[in-house]
Amino acid sequence: MSSDNLNKPADPIQVADDNPLAVARSLPPDLLLIVFIHGFKGTDSSFGGFPARLQHILSETIKNVTVECIVFPAYETKGQLNQAVERFADWLTQLTVEREVANGAGGGAGKARIVLCGHSMGGLVAADTLVEIVNSRPDKKAPVWPNIIACLAYDTPYFGLHPFVFKNSATKAFEYAQAAHSVVTDVMGAFSYFGAKQTPNSADSAKAPVALLTGPPQSPSSSSTGWAKWAPAAYAVGGAVMAGAAAGTAYWRREDLGSGYSWASDHMKYVGNLWDDKILKLRVESLVEIERDLGVTFRTYYTYIPPQPPAHMTPRTFIVLPDSSSPYASHFFPTRNTLAEDEVQAHIGMFEASTNDGYYELGLETAMVIREGIMTGRGLVDDKGKEEVMEVEEKPAQEEPCERGENPWNSSP
């Protein structure tokens, strides 16, 4: 090689003529994995068509990239939160290796760029996974793998649930409580019913009590032994379960009552993470430090219901927000919703245009922050990101179901 070639400056990165932010095809394509994690009592369909729409927008606005949105399979929100984190971290590691190999990036090479998107307590799972991956490196100079470039949360209670969530739903809670009282009365009646001696051919035995409608389905061949197995536990925790249903019916499934005391206690352990102020603060501090030191984007998008006088003179949110003067406030972004009647409805309906008039804006903001992360990794400045994303957003997207991850802990089909 001649000295002229040695002194010759490197050729600048070429970009496509029609898009100054698109990297030329001479560079290897990026692999972008966007992983969605549902929250308490959620399912892998909790995000609706949001992931597919996001995948469409990013595929259209970022050149030379393979975008995959993958929904973490439904998991049981019970036991300690760290158990869910361990399961998710194992699944994410396996997914990353498989995708990098499939895309020719080399298994475990860190070529796949990963964005974690968690709704509600799924955001806590995402955050704790990121913190654990960062802290488990052999030294602070070692790269982060899996290569997480952003941790995005949607209505995640990093500082707990807003106490007004229950206050503003007082009327509905009262209605739920009345219904719960009626159910409890029927359940107690059912216990008495099954405790009494019944003859097999009794005319009354052919008529199911009202309370059976709230219990697990019984086959024609089943007897009272089905109730006998779970009735004592339900009796013991019935008051607590029904009180919880009155405060947040959307998170409870009546068939789960049959799981008994262990089910109720496990779920209370999981939700109990929302009330430990020290853990809550340390988690957010870690996320801010990781963004500062490693460039992993940390954002929280929270539902915001504007004032509705005279009933509601102030804005309503589902989560507690950090003080506006704190260093954390800049990581929290409101998503306006004028359709929801209360905070719980806004929280649950965050990913449907029919229940959230800020749905499309939320998708736009999400696409922009992910696009910015990819462009930053390429050493480019994303000056026209918003215009290009908005242009694609205006076009009708074909919202095909995005990929559902295989659930290694669920043997049922």
Q: What pLDDT was estimated at residue 271?
A: 66
Q: Exposed/middle/buried for 397, CB within 10 Å: 0-12, 13-18, 19+?
A: middle
Q: What pLDDT was estimated at residue 14?
A: 45
Q: What pLDDT was estimated at residue 362?
A: 97
The phi and psi torsions of 71 (rounded to 5 degrees) equal: -95, 120
Enumerate the H helices of 144-300 as residue ranges: 164-167, 170-195, 225-248, 261-271, 277-294
What span, in angstroms and rounded, lies between the C-alpha atoms of 25 and 369? Answer: 23
* DSSP code for 312: B
What span, in angstroms and rounded, lies between the C-alpha atoms of 196 and 94? Answer: 55
Q: Hey, is 150 helix, strand or coil? A: strand
Digitized pLDDT (tens) for each residue of the chain, 413 residues in all: 444 544 444 444 444 445 544 444 455 678 999 999 998 778 878 999 999 999 999 999 998 899 999 999 887 666 678 888 999 999 999 999 999 888 875 555 678 999 999 999 999 999 999 999 999 999 988 999 999 999 999 999 999 888 887 666 555 545 555 555 555 455 445 444 444 544 445 444 444 433 333 333 444 444 444 333 333 333 333 333 334 444 444 344 444 444 444 545 555 566 676 678 888 999 999 999 999 999 999 999 999 999 999 988 999 999 999 999 999 999 999 999 999 999 989 999 999 999 999 999 999 999 999 999 999 888 886 555 555 555 555 554 444 445 555 433 333 33
* DSSP code for 14: P
Name the residue ranges covered by the structural domains of the chain. Answer: 13-155+276-404, 165-274
If phi > 0 it is left, if psi is from -120 to 50 it is alpha, else beta; for residue 41 that is: left
Q: What pLDDT was estimated at residue 89?
A: 95
Q: Are strands 297-305 and 316-317 parallel, antiparallel or unpaired?
A: antiparallel
Residue whose pair of structure tokens reads 């696009």 in the numeric block? 371
* DSSP code for 314: S
C-beta separation of 346 from 305 below 8 A: yes
Give me 153's structure tokens.
């949360």
Provide the 10 A C-beta neighbour count for residue 153: 29
CATH code for the structural domain at 13-155+276-404: 3.40.50
Comparing C-alpha atoms, which of 152, 176, 170 is closest to residue 351? 152
Q: Is the dihedral of CA 137, 141, 142, 147 positive or negative?
A: positive
What span, in angstroms and rounded, lies between the C-alpha atoms of 335 and 317? Answer: 10
Comparing C-alpha atoms, which of 92, 87, 112, 89 is closest to residue 32? 112
Write down how long the chain is: 413
Residue whose pair of structure tokens reads 């988690």 in the numeric block? 283
pTM of the model: 0.68
Comparing C-alpha atoms, which of 36, 69, 66, 96 is closest to residue 402? 69
Q: Is the peptide bond before 307 cis (omega within 30 degrees of 0)?
A: no
Q: Which run of H or E residues covers position 363? A: helix 359-377
Q: At what angle do helices 50-61 and 385-393 cross, to 10 degrees?
A: 130
